[in-house]
A = this chain, B = another copy of it.
């Protein structure tokens, strides 16, 4: 993550350089800033408020399904990480370590948590004794650390914010049900609130969470055709139960290991939202997430301003009272400057009102998503705006869905065809998109695709648009139908 301090004059068009566009957009929209701490960003208020809205949408659903929040230590003793072999191998290269504290060298290094299975596993082993203690359904909102080499604001940073659910169950069946329930909650929040369509599916073994039996994900397509893993839910089996000796006395008087799950979403959802909905004018935010849902701008000559404001002020109050997140822009700048400004910040609706509108008992509403401009009656305008926000929310989801469908290739069936497709795309500076491919289940076939095209398996969708019969790499019988794509 280069330190990019220069003032962003214009937003680079997406088609010219998508990464540049992304950075320009988040800086112009004032969502974040770089910091002198390697790979760590500062979340500015408009960026953080997106996270607060995601938190609210998630947290409500976690609680409705019986989960409660808790908080565990951020520092993890080195010996704990080593109790689950795959886990430590997966995370060790990315850990920051505390080695000194309070003026003394520590006897044992403490890792800044990359995830909390180990410390929570240790405590669950003490909290869980009997089947009566189960299930344990906890979630934690916290900062976590993964010392990444290449970082990208929101999408991959050395410190990020997330939630991590950790549950323990008496049986595999219950734990698997939990895993699926949380995946479905993620899908619901991301599709309904963030207006991002996702594929639910299972990760291949090579992409599994370190220490999991099965990992499931929701995967989203960005506007450059790359994939973002937007949330994961893991069935951990008895792996951590054995590593941390989490046993319970069951109804049948047998001591058994619990079955655990974990599931997480993070601030990378902010990055996804930007990359799915943004365009060459900048940010475009779905109404349910946008800090400001509508901006009101008085227009017309200064000498008529008083007449306009007589209508403007009570209207503003009415929107506020109705719970619409409205902002009045009364600055001295020209209307045109303000239009650009708020479009760039992604505000879903702009309301303009000038002297002629007052005469005609109307206001002008302009949609950020389609650019469409309509005059609507002053009467019932609060309800009109409320309906419009709903319509925009829906339309943004559908536009993202259309984009995804347009760039999902269902009939590229061999590695040669994929390479030909990529060559075509390269020539036209187009979007490579995703391919749905058959896979024999052999890791080497998956690896070959990655090595030759940088396409990695995203997930094995539960409900693919078509089922594939042959492995894209070896041509043998396909065991799975898999989404492949380049990924963030």
Q: Do the beta carbons of A75 and B159 come within 8 Å of each other? A: yes
Q: Do the beta carbons of A44 and B70 come within 8 Å of each other? A: yes
A41 to B71, CA, bound (A): 9
Q: Do the beta carbons of A48 and B72 come within 8 Å of each other? A: no
Q: Do the beta carbons of A99 and B100 come within 8 Å of each other? A: yes
Is A205 interfacial (CB 8 A cutoff)?
Answer: no
Inter-chain contacts of A36 with B (CB < 8 A): 77, 80, 122
Q: Do the beta carbons of B93 and A101 come within 8 Å of each other? A: no
Inter-chain contacts of A51 with B (CB < 8 A): 71
Is A484 interfacial (CB 8 A cutoff)?
Answer: no
Q: List 7 A-B contacts (CB under 8 A).
A: A33-B123, A44-B70, A48-B68, A93-B102, A95-B101, A95-B102, A98-B99
A161 to B48, CA, bound (A): 18
Q: Do the beta carbons of A69 and B48 come within 8 Å of each other? A: yes
If A37-B73, A70-B44, A123-B35 touch, does A96 touch B103 (CB 8 Å cutoff)?
A: no
A230 to chain B, nearest CB (A): 20
Q: Do the beta carbons of A42 and B99 come within 8 Å of each other? A: no
Is A147 interfacial (CB 8 A cutoff)?
Answer: yes
Is A258 interfacial (CB 8 A cutoff)?
Answer: no
- The oligomer's copy count stands at 2
Is A90 interfacial (CB 8 A cutoff)?
Answer: no
Inter-chain contacts of A112 with B (CB < 8 A): 98
* Interface band, chain A: 35 or more
Is A82 interfacial (CB 8 A cutoff)?
Answer: no
Is A358 interfacial (CB 8 A cutoff)?
Answer: no
Inter-chain contacts of A69 with B (CB < 8 A): 45, 48-49, 52
Is A126 interfacial (CB 8 A cutoff)?
Answer: yes
A49 to B71, CA, bound (A): 10
**Which residue of the partner chain, among B49, B76, B126, contacts A33 with CB atoms under 8 Å?**
B126
Q: Which of A112-140 contact B (CB under 8 A)?
A: 112, 119, 122-123, 126-127, 138
Inter-chain contacts of A184 with B (CB < 8 A): none
Q: Which of A32-79 contact B (CB under 8 A)?
A: 33, 35-37, 40-45, 48-49, 51-52, 68-77
Q: Do the beta carbons of B42 and A71 come within 8 Å of each other? A: yes
Closest to A122 in B: B36
Chain A positions within 8 Å of B, measured between CB atoms, are 5, 33, 35-37, 40-45, 48-49, 51-52, 68-77, 80, 93-103, 109-110, 112, 119, 122-123, 126-127, 138, 142-143, 147, 149, 158-159, 161
A345 to chain B, nearest CB (A): 15
Q: Do the beta carbons of B49 and A147 come within 8 Å of each other? A: no
Q: Do the beta carbons of B74 and A143 come within 8 Å of each other? A: yes
Closest to A147 in B: B102
Closest to A67 in B: B45
7 closest pairs, A vs B, by CB? A102-B147, A96-B101, A45-B68, A40-B73, A43-B71, A37-B73, A97-B100
Q: Do the beta carbons of B93 and A96 come within 8 Å of each other? A: no
A127 to B45, CA, bound (A): 13
**Which residue of the partner chain, among B35, B102, B149, contacts A119 with CB atoms under 8 Å?**
B35
Q: Do the beta carbons of A74 and B44 come within 8 Å of each other? A: no
A334 to chain B, nearest CB (A): 17
Inter-chain contacts of A42 with B (CB < 8 A): 70-73, 119, 123
